[in-house]
Structure 1
């Protein structure tokens, strides 16, 4: 039978066999004998508990086959979601690394998961369309919701114990949750097949990418289509997206891999693509090789959200859980229902991002490529009351300042003669790398001279609202504009001020508002 016929037969068997009391779900995969997986295809019938035939009514006995295909009666697995952390910061970001919301559980323990892969939001223009994909139970842990920050944390080991680094400066914010997703059933129909219920545990967070036209580079986080250490015959990229269908099972093993924080790269085979838990169809994987610690398992806590990849480097699923009774067994969501629910297009070799979404620090020659601290310093600044107030002023006047600098000649001339582009470049580079200090003078022009001249010219040509903002902040800015050479140290002092009511350096305001050619 072809795929269409097999899918129809599976749906029929699922509907019929689930009528039998005690049947939780019906899968299609490899038969088990004596606890070991064989190569024989079967309908895997999952029950709450196994009972002897003599203890059942004849009508409640599961048949030994269904329309010529053997059945295999199995106890519905007991599972645990898997989540933990990676040890290091990464730049550019890749799949297979740790993410965290820095929230705690009832035991005051920080919970973390794995970044699966990157995608673009359907119908959204770049660079505001690039997201990371992981599990819903990873991104929403501890009550996190849309708009909350996602971090790529660092961990340290001491006396054999691994702990997360809580220092605010080491958290490495990389984006914000934009779709909390779901942890439940999603009805999906493959082409020419009837709709079926699939289990989806998935969510997205929008990456903090900021393409600046003045330097045509990414001032935010960078990413690339790669999974850390995947290395399938030398290839760590996602080449495309495909499904695991009924016609793919039987004969040779359907080999799959995943890379997660806790167990890194593991190898296994698909043994079922049905519904063993009564919660919707999913992919059941059995480990075929020991992991890096010598244990035969496919996942452990910390690996939730990992991309499930086949031997051709194609994305087939999203890992979300492990079996409590058998460490070799793990579970993943089918990828197409995930894509459909989230309205995304995975970034792969076959579907690369275009335009601004494709620009990353890693791709631009001569640009700082280490850990980018811009997002971190901005998050710290915005965590204060005064910082949030100033940021709102930025949003209110950003477009007007950009238009004046780019299109009003007196403003453009003043900006360049005051060494505005060069000062701005130093501020941006310092935001990225704290070791790059900001000079107090450029080509004979001091910072306070640049600020004074730009304030004067913007007051002359700007709106009444912009004039009022400049006058309200000017004196305080001039009082400390030459008091620091590092934004990170300045923000640290700002955070320590009583009530966090200190005023942000107006150069930071300029850095955020002026986006000049």
Structure 2
């Protein structure tokens, strides 16, 4: 049978077998005998509890086959969330690494999971369309909401305990939660098939990519279409997206891999394409076929939640979200297409690369910083002060006008270049990325205060009344500190200390990052 015929027969079998009391749903996968998985295809009939045939009415006994395909009575899967820590910071960002929102529960524990892969928001242009994909129970842990910051921190060991480094300078903010997602069923129909309830545990966060029209470089985070240590025949990229359908199990083992923070790369096979959970949601059930790096036969462990599930051809097929509480060798994954439909995203793969400015961060080309990028970190600290948040809001309000004047009003353009504005800006950008790169006080005979004075003068002459007002308001304050530092990171630290404690604020009012602000 082809996939369409097989899906129709599966739906028919489920409709009939669910008429039997106690049947929750019907999967399609490999039959188990004595707790061991065989190579025989079967309709896997999920029940909450198994009962002996002699204890049932004859009409309530599940038949041994349905239209020539064997049945297998199995208990519904009781999954457990996967949480844990990662050890390293990564730049550019890749799949298979640790992420957290740094929110703690009542006992002070911080939830940490895995960055699965990257995707673009459907219908949104770059660079503000690139998101990371993970689980809802990872990004939303401890009551996080849309707009909260996601971090990719380093981890430290103390007394044999490994934990994320919570110091502000080492948290490494990388983006903000864009769609908190869900842990629930979602109705989805594959082409030519009836809609079914699929279980989804998914969420996305928008990466803090910041492409400047002034210096044409990325001042935010960089990323790659790559999964850490995936290395399938030397290839660690995602090549495409594909479904694991019932018909895919007819040709032998369907091999899959995942890379998570806790157990790194593991290998397994799909033993049920349509496993059923207690709520009736469908998911993929995977069984490990090789020991993990610790020698344990398991496909996943705590900390691996959110990992991308990839087949032997480097194609994305699912999103890992849990493990079988009764069998550590088995794990649960969402089918990827319902996830894509629910979140309205397209995974970034070789077949579907991003277009526009954000795409350049995929490549190690000139102008793209590839070390640990501290830009978002220093911006986060700046916005955590009252004055920083106030100044940043003024930048947001007037940035488009300033950019238009610099790019299209000739007197402003000439003043910008003669005042060495592009060079000064490049040094500020490089220092924000790398604290070891110091900002000069003078460029080719032009001092910082000369540059500021000239630009304030020309922008006041050619700008709007609102821009003139804000320049006049902040000019003396800016001139008072513009020559007091050569490192933004040290300057922000002084700025934090200088403010009274009651003037510190969160940046919750400023959750949308912009592409042209430095």
- TM bracket (short chain): over 0.9
Distance 1:514 1:318 in 2: 33
Listed as ranges, the matches of 1:229-244 within 5 Å are 229-244=229-244
Is 1:34 aligned to 2:38, yes or no?
A: no
Residue 262 (structure 1) shift: 0.5
**Per-residue displacement from partner, 1:306-356 (whole Å, max 9, x unpaired)?**
000000111110000001111000000011111111111111111111121
Q: Where does residue 181 of structure 1 map in the other structure? A: 181
Counting matched residue pairs gives 507
Q: Where does residue 377 of structure 2 map in the other structure? A: 376
Q: Which stretch shows the higher mean deviation, 393-402 or 19-28?
A: 19-28
Residue 159 (structure 1) shift: 3.5
Distance 2:425 2:417 in 1: 11
Distance 2:443 2:113 in 1: 45
Residue 76 (structure 1) shift: 1.7
Unmatched tracts of structure 2, length 5 or more: 505-513
Instruction: Say whether the 8 Å CA contact 2:132–2:205 is kept in structure 1.
Output: yes
Instruction: Say whether the 8 Å CA contact 2:101–2:141 is kept in structure 1.
Output: yes
Distance 2:16 2:85 in 1: 43
Q: Where does residue 413 of structure 2 map in the other structure? A: 412
**Per-residue displacement from partner, 1:24-48 (whole Å, max 9, x unpaired)?**
2211110000110000111111211
Q: Which stretch shows the higher mean deviation, 272-281 or 26-35?
A: 272-281
Distance 1:94 1:320 in 2: 19
Residue 366 (structure 1) shift: 5.2
| Off by >4 Å, runs of 4+ in structure 1 | 512-516
Instruction: Say whether the 8 Å CA contact 1:84–1:261 is kept in structure 2.
Output: yes
TM superposition score normalised by structure 1: 0.95
Distance 1:390 1:421 in 2: 21
- Which secondary structure does the structure 1 equivalent of 2:120 belong to? strand
Instruction: Say whether the 8 Å CA contact 1:181–1:342 is kept in structure 2.
Output: yes
Q: Where does residue 207 of structure 1 map in the other structure? A: 207
Instruction: Say whether the 8 Å CA contact 2:238–2:349 is kept in structure 1.
Output: yes
Distance 1:188 1:276 in 2: 15
Residue 515 (structure 1) shift: 7.5
Distance 2:276 2:173 in 1: 37
Is 1:53 aligned to 2:49, yes or no?
A: no
Listed as ranges, the matches of 1:152-231 within 5 Å are 152-231=152-231
Is 1:300 aligned to 2:301, yes or no?
A: yes
Residue 497 (structure 1) shift: 2.1
Instruction: Say whether the 8 Å CA contact 1:43–1:70 is kept in structure 2.
Output: yes
Residue 16 (structure 1) shift: 1.8
Residue 513 (structure 1) shift: 9.8
Distance 2:494 2:21 in 1: 67
TM superposition score normalised by structure 2: 0.95
Instruction: Say whether the 8 Å CA contact 1:401–1:514 is kept in structure 2.
Output: no
Instruction: Say whether the 8 Å CA contact 1:115–1:132 is kept in structure 2.
Output: yes
Distance 1:265 1:176 in 2: 27
Residue 222 (structure 1) shift: 0.6
- Which secondary structure does the structure 1 equivalent of 2:276 belong to? coil
Q: Where does residue 391 of structure 2 map in the other structure? A: 390
Q: Where does residue 475 of structure 1 map in the other structure? A: 476
- Which secondary structure does the structure 1 equivalent of 2:274 belong to? coil
Instruction: Say whether the 8 Å CA contact 1:85–1:113 is kept in structure 2.
Output: yes
Instruction: Say whether the 8 Å CA contact 1:217–1:360 is kept in structure 2.
Output: no
- Which secondary structure does the structure 2 equivalent of 1:201 belong to? strand
Q: Which stretch shows the higher mean deviation, 266-275 or 463-472?
A: 463-472
Is 1:133 aligned to 2:133, yes or no?
A: yes
Q: Where does residue 508 of structure 2 map in the other structure? A: none
**Per-residue displacement from partner, 1:106-143 (whole Å, max 9, x unpaired)?**
32101111111111111111111111111111111111
Q: Where does residue 5 of structure 1 map in the other structure? A: 5
Residue 213 (structure 1) shift: 2.3
Distance 2:481 2:106 in 1: 44
Distance 1:35 1:361 in 2: 45
Q: Where does residue 246 of structure 2 map in the other structure? A: 246
Relative to structure 1, is the Cα distance of residues 515 and 377 closer, same or farther in structure 2, using a 3 angstrom cutoff? closer
Instruction: Say whether the 8 Å CA contact 1:448–1:482 is kept in structure 2.
Output: yes
**Per-residue displacement from partner, 1:349-378 (whole Å, max 9, x unpaired)?**
111111212111743225432011111111
**Per-residue displacement from partner, 1:273-325 (whole Å, max 9, x unpaired)?**
12331431100000000000000000001011100000011111000000111
Q: Where does residue 402 of structure 2 map in the other structure? A: 401
Q: Where does residue 114 of structure 2 map in the other structure? A: 114
**Per-residue displacement from partner, 1:71-96 (whole Å, max 9, x unpaired)?**
11112222101122321010111110
Listed as ranges, the matches of 1:490-501 within 5 Å are 490-499=491-500
- Which secondary structure does the structure 1 equivalent of 2:101 belong to? strand
Distance 1:139 1:100 in 2: 7
Distance 2:466 2:32 in 1: 73
Unmatched tracts of structure 1, length 5 or more: 503-511
Residue 219 (structure 1) shift: 1.3
Relative to structure 1, is the Cα distance of residues 364 and 61 closer, same or farther in structure 2, using a 3 angstrom cutoff? same
Distance 2:324 2:161 in 1: 25
Q: Which stretch shows the higher mean deviation, 228-237 or 388-397?
A: 388-397
**Per-residue displacement from partner, 1:408-445 (whole Å, max 9, x unpaired)?**
22222222222211111111110010000111111122
Distance 2:104 2:450 in 1: 48
